[in-house]
């Protein structure tokens, strides 16, 4: 979830933050490069969530200041039991105005629970 600086238009963002990437994959040790991406500054990020099957987790795409860990629906990406589930943010409490306050500790493993999608 990102909030752009006040006054920034979609057209301005697309023109000024078109980017490229280059990194070494921690899985294959191969260099990964590409040009189809847009840059997002960390101070624009309001909240981020790392999602991944347990077997595939190596490192989050987000800084630990945005999300300290990750959430997983299944142990393996081939697990057929992963379907029909959803992530739901846990409730932290109720505000003085009576509104539901959702948990946001910047740690997906703590902030979400898995429930049936039905």
Q: Domain residue spans in the chain?
A: 1-46, 47-118
Which of 45, 75, 77 minimizes the C-alpha distance to 62?
Answer: 45
For 67-88, what is the mean pLDDT? 86
**pLDDT number for residue 90:** 96
The pTM assigned to this predicted structure is 0.66
What's the number of CA atoms in the CB half-sphere (13 Å) around residue 21? 11
Per-residue pLDDT band for 78 (boundaries 50, 70, 90) equals confident
Q: What would the mean pLDDT of 2-11 be, rounded to a whole number?
A: 95
For the residues of 53-89, what is the DSSP string, one character each?
A: -GGG-S--SS-TTT-SS-B-S-SSTT-GGGTTEEEEE
SS3 state of residue 43: helix
Given a cut of 80, is residue 31 above it in pLDDT?
A: yes
């Amino acid at each position: 979830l990102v909030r752009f600086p006040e006054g920034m238009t979609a057209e301005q963002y697309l023109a000024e933050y078109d980017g490229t990437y280059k990194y070494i994959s921690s899985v294959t040790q191969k260099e990964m490069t590409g040009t189809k991406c847009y840059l997002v500054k960390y101070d624009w990020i309001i909240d981020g969530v790392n999602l991944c099957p347990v077997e595939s987790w190596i490192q989050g795409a987000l800084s630990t200041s945005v999300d300290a860990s990750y959430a997983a629906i299944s142990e393996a990406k081939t697990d057929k039991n992963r379907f029909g589930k959803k992530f739901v943010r846990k409730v932290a409490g109720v505000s003085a105005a009576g509104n539901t306050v959702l948990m946001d500790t910047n740690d997906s493993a703590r902030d979400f629970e898995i429930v049936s999608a039905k």
